[in-house]
Amino acid sequence: MTDSKYFTTTKKGEIFELKAELNSDKKEKKKEAVKKVIASMTVGKDVSALFPDVVNCMQTDNLELKKLVYLYLMNYAKSQPDMAIMAVNTFVKDCEDPNPLIRALAVRTMGCIRVDKITEYLCEPLRKCLKDEDPYVRKTAAVCVAKLHDINAQLVEDQGFLDTLKDLISDSNPMVVANAVAALSEIAESHPNSNLLDLNPQTINKLLTALNECTEWGQIFILDCLANYTPRDDRESQSICERVTPRLSHANSAVVLSAVKVLMKFMEMLPKDLDYYGTLLKKLAPPLVTLLSAEPELQYVALRNINLIVQKRPEILKHEMKVFFVKYNDPIYVKLEKLDIMIRLASQANIAQVLAELKEYATEVDVDFVRKAVRAIGRCAIKVEQSAERCVSTLLDLIQTKVNYVVQEAIVVIKDIFRKYPNKYESVIATLCENLDSLDEPEARAAMIWIVGEYAERIDNADELLESFLEGFHDESTQVQLQLLTAIVKLFLKKPTETQELVQQVLSLATQDSDNPDLRDRGYIYWRLLSTDPVAAKEVVLAEKPLISEETDLIEPTLLEELICHIGTLASVYHKPPSAFVEGSRGVQHKRLPARAGSGESAESPDVGQSGPAEAPPAVIPSQGDLLGDLLNLDLAPPTATIPSVQPSMQMGAMDLLGGGLDSLMGDESDTLGGDIGGSPSMGAGLGAAPAAMPAALGSAPAVGGGLGDLFDLGGGVGMPTGAYVAPKTVWLPAMKAKGLEISGTFARRGGIIQMDLSLTNKAMSVMTDFAIQFNRNSFGLAPAGPLQVLTPLSPNQTIDVSLPLSTSGPVMKMEPLNNLQVAVKNNIDVFYFSCQYPLSLLFVEDGKMERQVFLATWKDIPNDNEAQFQIKDIHLNSDAASNKLQGSNIFTIAKRTVEGQDMLYQSVKLTNAIWVLAEMRIQTGNPNYTLSIKCRAPEVSQFVYQCYELVLKN
Amino acid sequence: MIHSLFLINNAGDLFLEKHWKSVISRSVCDYFFEAREKAVEPDNVPPVIRTPHHYLINIYREKIFFVSVIQTEVPPLFVIEFLHRVAETFQDYFGECSETTIKDNVVIVYELLEEMLDNGFPLATESNILKELIRPPTILRTMVNTITGSSNVGETLPTGQLSTIPWRRAGVKYTNNEAYFDVVEEIDAILDKSGTTVFAEIQGVIDACVKLSGMPDLTLSFMNPRLLDDVSFHPCVRYKRWESERVISFIPPDGNFQLMSYHISAQNLVAIPVYVKQNISFFETGSSGRLDITVGPKQTMGKTVECLVVTVHMPKVVLSANLNATQGTYNYDPVTKILVWDIGKLNSQKLPNLKGSLSLQSGAPKPEENPSLNIDLKIQQLAISGLKVNRLDMYGEKYKPFKGVKYVTKAGKFQVRT
């Protein structure tokens, strides 16, 4: 006798017959009838019409019958809310039953009936059950709170159930604790900031105790909850790790992975030199490997997570390459993931093994897998430089197989290899060209065309090859069309004589016969470039391309950190932050790894800034992001800390700083240009480079020009008695470039202290807070000596004046012009960059008066080549007045000689970096023009010292 | 947490649904069917499928897809582990987990599912507890129930539910007290053309069948516990004692359970019990090929290799095989393109050989891919890793139990490349 008998029907009509049976007097018949009803329900038949009859069977002593009726109720109460009320009394009565199983069952079922009216009746029984003497009832009630919250969140809060639930975390029974944690975690998900799970060392201790004794599922809930805690110090972190480690040997893989998450997060806080840190690292590998021998579905999730772990801490699995080797009967989704991890683990030590495997995979049956394997070979070549040659020859072997999709994939990756190692493997081009005809996929065709265009000068029949593609130009995909356009322009620039016709043909195809705006725009740009300035065109189109690096496929570090905090979750499977895909309404808190306490290390990765500029690795593709990141990081550190080295060379740095401004400058023009310019990387780079000069000029103009303008406005005459001259403030950062923040400022030297006087004006609509400032490296090592003191928030239309003391102990890098200073200011809105120029007099120190003898000796000692002469015009001062004025700015007169009505003033200046500047000023009575000769061992400063003279004397 | 469960058979029929929260329309499964179609082979359906409002997490067991629906962030492994547990419970209750048995026992299935999850939170998943709550169907019990009117649902609170040893029920009583342990090792290996080991590892498990009265406290120790550095234990095992003394100390669940699993990785030398000499080649012309396979013993530690089966996945163009086996029988299935050679016992005096010609689809090009060989075998009374149980002691009870340990080695994913 099996349950399939419940599905048999008679002619009379099923419902009718069931109704009769349900109302039967015989217990047994009733039960059988309910079973039939349930059976129909499970396969999706509608038996809701029987509702009153089934509910009538609820009053019974038979537990099985009761359970069956409950099952039915849960399913249909929603569609029959009025009828469901009938059942309430029985529920309430059952909640008082002496048998805990019945009490629990009643409260559990009531929570599943998603009818508003019923929930009101549920509150009282639930309150009792949460405090029931039997833990089985309590743990069921805990889950019931989560159910009720799902139906009516407000009710749960009003009734104070959340507090009762929190109390259950301290329950004596581990299962109750686990369920309370699970319920709270679920509720917390819809209230991201509610701080429901208020974790403190006491609760953590209780959770850890419960962890050892509850079921495997409870362990998962508790571990996931633990992962949200931030330990106070490394010792607490270690003690939690020690208590969590045994979970790594659990048979349930979900427990293992949750434990891995907790450990990965908390070990971040442990000092690396600690013995325990190493022990922990060693303990993490075996459980991860074990996950790979589980069922394929588990393997898949495990592999997605291992992919993250390998990126964060490659050392854990670096010796376990072989477990990622693909087996013939792995499902495809496992194969692809394993391949990905193999590449991540590939290193010089194991590359031979990896390549042998990949070559093996390339002959497998599954096309997707074979393609990815071929791609993987290319990625190995890019990642492990020593293996590049071997990879290329492996790829050539594969091309010889003539299997169509293998050849195409191989060509795509060889293109990347060319970009990583230019001028090294071009000998294979001939082999590639042989396969030209078999390429039918856009990506492969585009790659081949790129290669032909890039190496046009080495391919004798490049023009023929490209011409052959041109025949079906309109049938090609955009990718191929764009590539073909660029390739032919390259070819033309390399071999202009033979290919003029070809280039005209492609330009007209692109601009006149195409309705693709990208293609048309690129066509026009080339056309104009070629027609107006072929030399510039050459520079743009044939510009040296930045090398590609293997890092491109790595997950960006901040995202990786967040994902590490989400190991074992859906986020980790999709490699996307939870906010990117969890149902919209819920806000999600971004999780960060805790910072390492103790030991001197501040960051995980070896920081370039610490290792010193000399060792700075050549950045492969310096991006604005790098610099931005550096400046941002710095804001977090105390301002006296050394400024991190800006990785790229100085010119790069300047470009990066101006990059932001460039965008806004370009912004206005882009409307008139229309469409996007982008396109090929070479194009982008070219366009970027050309206007770079312009904003540089623009950027400096307001600072200098404005300053001078103000000076002239003031007019001469009204000199200040003593003290250094301070220029009036000029606008350094206009509000429109900085999202409403306007910064004007000037520099002053007061009592031996250099100060940057800033006026910050908020021209935006919202309040600005969290100001911070940072300088780029500069010629004299100027750096803020303290934080930017903007204590109160800056409300709209408010201006605040701040004086920022500066030190000269910052890192030094020569700037152009010498007195240029690049500044980054951060507030709660964004980071802004500007550059300004400071008068060199800022750096004239107070003890700059040289001994006469020394002066003479030094003057003679400095070669005459270093002497520079300037004219200072329109000065109506006598020599004494001039001398006084200059002394106020720390230009000291050592001696004065009068020869034939001409006053000769000998003066000395000392800069903060101990450079001495010697000067001879000749003043002829009646002549407003002074002659100034400056001698200095660093002649490049002379120009700026002269500017200071002029500034000071004219005010 | 887990919202709903749909059971779908290989033909794409949805034959059971269960909702633990509000009802989710079965139309959500359309996304699954889409993925199923794309994957071609049922094994290749991705385990996690994203739909606009839900996530579908599925496993494929015994030709049934267990598709669960989740709506919020839930650890996928948690769901997958749970689904496996569901499949195992069905297996445990009905002897096999198939569409027929599930349909035959649909009410028990429903009761079980209700008992296993509450609002998506796991409630009772230990087979010991479930069996106390819902008795498995037996012919005898069904008859008795029909006569006496009693039910197959337990009336009392399952004792294990709340104790600190939830896996064992109280009041167990046997007349014959016995404890048996099976050490089962599977060799996963990849050998290359020349027979060199590319990769090899051992997956071991110790399965236990413990029928002991009362609350026995067992201690199992090994001759060479140092072999085990990567282990996963049943929750009953006291981890601390393993850490400090390398013995397995536990209060066992009642009946059959897996005590531990272990993994001996490729770093250690894994003994390969057989070698395979093979040559499968296809001719450039003439639409034919040759096959020649010989299997011989390698490191068998003096034991006999049994149940030896060689499976070859042939390229699609292979139409038929005309072969001659010196031992055992062979069968080529032209639909699935799988050649199975069932050898049986390996005779080291006269090595089994399979030789002959393959005929290909005429006019088809020479196949590019190399077929790969899968080996199946069994060696009784040997744990290939060399693991040996030293002794089993029982504390806490006074009677003398029967004890036994069996060893067996099998091929897991044992693959030879050509």
Instruction: Kindly state the DSSP code that residue B305 receives in the 8-state scheme.
Output: P
Tens digits of residue pLDDT in B264-294? 876 567 888 998 998 888 887 778 888 999 9
* Confidence grade of residue A672 (pLDDT, cut at 50, 70, 90): very low
Task: Report in angstroms the alpha-carbon separations of A475 from A453, A488, A497, A680.
Answer: 20, 18, 28, 20
Could you tell me if B117 and B185 lie in one domain?
no
Q: Is A441 in contact with A480 (CB distance < 8 Å)?
A: no
Q: Which of A183-192, A230-239, B314-323 has the lowest mean pLDDT?
A: A183-192
Chains A, B: CB contacts under 8 A, how many?
257
Among chain A residues, CA nearest to B416: A328
Q: Is the dihedral of CA B19, B22, B25, B30 positive or negative?
A: negative
Q: Which of A251-260, A798-807, B128-137, B374-383 has the lowest mean pLDDT?
A: B128-137
Could you tell me if B88 and B186 lie in one domain?
no
Q: Is A416 in contact with A545 (CB distance < 8 Å)?
A: no
Which of A2, A135, A333 is opposite residue B104, by nearest beta carbon? A2
* Confidence grade of residue B329 (pLDDT, cut at 50, 70, 90): very high
List beta partners, residue A892: A908
Residue A816 phi, psi (nearest 5): -130, 115
- Contact check, Cβ <8 Å, A252/B198: no
Q: Is A319 in contact with A331 (CB distance < 8 Å)?
A: no
Q: Is the dihedral of CA B90, B91, B97, B100 positive or negative?
A: negative
pTM (two decimals): 0.67
Strands B48-50 vs B55-61: parallel, antiparallel or unpaired:
antiparallel
Q: Is A859 in contact with A851 (CB distance < 8 Å)?
A: no
By CB neighbour count within 10 A (0-12 exposed, 13-18 middle, 19+ buried), where does A612 fall?
Answer: exposed
Checking if the pLDDT of A655 tops 70, the result is no
- Contact check, Cβ <8 Å, B266/A251: no
Q: Is B272 in contact with B298 (CB distance < 8 Å)?
A: yes
- Stretch 232-251 of chain B: residues touching chain A, C-beta under 8 Å: 232-235, 239-240, 242-243
Dist. CA B52–CA A739, nearest whole Å? 36
Q: What is the CATH number of the domain that holds B290?
A: 2.60.40.1170
Which of B74, B109, B239 is opposite residue A246, by nearest beta carbon? B239
Q: A397 — contact with chain B (CB < 8 Å)?
A: no
Task: Report in angstroms the alpha-carbon separations of A83 from A48, A78, A86, A87.
Answer: 11, 10, 5, 8
Which of B75, B110, B372 is opposite residue A568, by nearest beta carbon? B75
Identify whether B172 is part of a domain.
no
Could you tell me if B131 and B48 lie in one domain?
yes
Which of B80, B263, B368 is opposite residue A289, by nearest beta carbon? B263
Per-residue pLDDT at A683: 39
- Contact check, Cβ <8 Å, A325/B152: no
Per-residue pLDDT at A711: 38
Rg of chain B over CA atoms, in angstroms?
A: 25
Strands A783-784 vs A799-807: parallel, antiparallel or unpaired:
antiparallel
Could you tell me if B15 and B133 lie in one domain?
yes
Identify whether B93 is part of a domain.
yes
Average pLDDT rounded to a whole number, residues A491-496: 86
Order of all β-strands in the sheet with B64-70: B14-19, B2-9, B64-70, B55-61, B48-50
- Give residues with Cβ within 8 angstroms of A709, minimum separation 6: none
Could you tell me if B406 and B265 lie in one domain?
yes
* Region of residue B231 (left: phi > 0; alpha: psi -120 to 50; beta: else): beta
Dist. CA B61–CA B347, nearest whole Å? 36
Mean pLDDT, chain B, rounded, equals 86
Which of B46, B106, B369 is opposite residue A365, by nearest beta carbon? B369
Identify whether B173 is part of a domain.
no
Within 10 A of A407 (CB to CB), how many other CB atoms are there?
22
Show residues of chain A in contact with B23, CB under 8 Å: 75, 78
Q: B13 — contact with chain A (CB < 8 Å)?
A: no
Checking if the pLDDT of A719 tops 80, the result is no
Show residues of chain B in contact with A3, CB under 8 Å: 103-108
Tens digits of residue pLDDT in B13-50? 998 888 888 788 888 999 999 999 988 888 889 999 98
Which of A790, A789, A793 is closest to A769 using CA atoms? A793
Tens digits of residue pLDDT in A417-440? 888 888 788 888 888 888 888 888
Could you tell me if B98 and B226 lie in one domain?
no
Checking if the pLDDT of B141 tops 70, the result is no
Identify whether B153 is part of a domain.
no
Task: Show the domain range for B373.
Answer: 274-380
Strands B402-417 vs B178-191: parallel, antiparallel or unpaired:
parallel
Bigger pLDDT: A84 or A295? Answer: A295
Dist. CA A220–CA B235, nearest whole Å? 13
Could you tell me if B85 and B190 lie in one domain?
no
Instruction: Kindly state the DSSP code that residue A424 receives in the 8-state scheme.
Output: T
Q: Is A732 in contact with A700 (CB distance < 8 Å)?
A: no
Identify whether B317 is part of a domain.
yes
Could you tell me if B185 and B41 lie in one domain?
no
- Stretch 333-362 of chain B: residues touching chain A, C-beta under 8 Å: none
Identify whether B156 is part of a domain.
no
Per-residue pLDDT at A337: 92
Q: What is the CATH number of the domain that holds B104?
A: 3.30.450.60
- Stretch 250-289 of chain B: residues touching chain A, C-beta under 8 Å: 258, 260-261, 263, 265-267
Q: How many domains does chain B have?
A: 3
Task: Please give the structure tokens belonging to residue A223.
Answer: 């571990």
- Stretch 293-322 of chain A: residues touching chain B, C-beta under 8 Å: 293, 295-298, 300-302, 319-320, 322
* Confidence grade of residue A299 (pLDDT, cut at 50, 70, 90): very high
Q: Is A437 in contact with A444 (CB distance < 8 Å)?
A: no
Q: Is the dihedral of CA A844, A849, A854, A858 positive or negative?
A: positive
Could you tell me if B249 and B390 lie in one domain?
yes
Show residues of chain B in contact with A178, CB under 8 Å: none
SS3 sequence of A99-138: CHHHHHHHHHHHHHCCCHHHHHHHHHHHHHHHCCCCHHHH
Write down the H helix ranges in A267-350.
Answer: 275-291, 296-312, 332-345
Per-residue pLDDT at A686: 37
Per-residue pLDDT at A327: 85
Half-sphere exposure of B236 (CA within 13 A, CB side): 25
- Contact check, Cβ <8 Å, B104/A578: no
Half-sphere exposure of B149 (CA within 13 A, CB side): 7
By three-state DSSP, how is residue A664 classified? helix
Task: Please give the structure tokens belonging to residue A432.
Answer: 């590639």
Tens digits of residue pLDDT in A914-951? 888 888 888 887 788 888 888 888 888 888 888 888 88
Identify whether B308 is part of a domain.
yes
Task: Please give the structure tokens belonging to residue B248.
Answer: 């397995």
Residue with tokens 């003057």: A859
Q: Is B271 in contact with B301 (CB distance < 8 Å)?
A: yes
Could you tell me if B12 and B135 lie in one domain?
yes
List beta partners, residue A800: A760
Dist. CA B305–CA B98, nearest whole Å? 32
Highest mean pLDDT range out of A751-760, B301-310, B364-373?
Answer: B301-310
Strands B288-297 vs B255-264: parallel, antiparallel or unpaired:
unpaired
Dist. CA A829–CA A865, nearest whole Å? 51
CB burial string A492-512: b at 16+ within 10 A, e below: bbbeeeebeebbeebbebbbe
Per-residue pLDDT at A552: 59
Bigger pLDDT: A53 or A765? Answer: A53
Which of A272, A258, A350 is closest to A305 using CA atoms? A258
Rg of chain A over CA atoms, in angstroms?
A: 39
Helix axes A174-190, A161-168, angle to 10 degrees: 140
Could you tell me if B30 and B133 lie in one domain?
yes
Identify whether B165 is part of a domain.
no
Could you tell me if B317 and B265 lie in one domain?
no
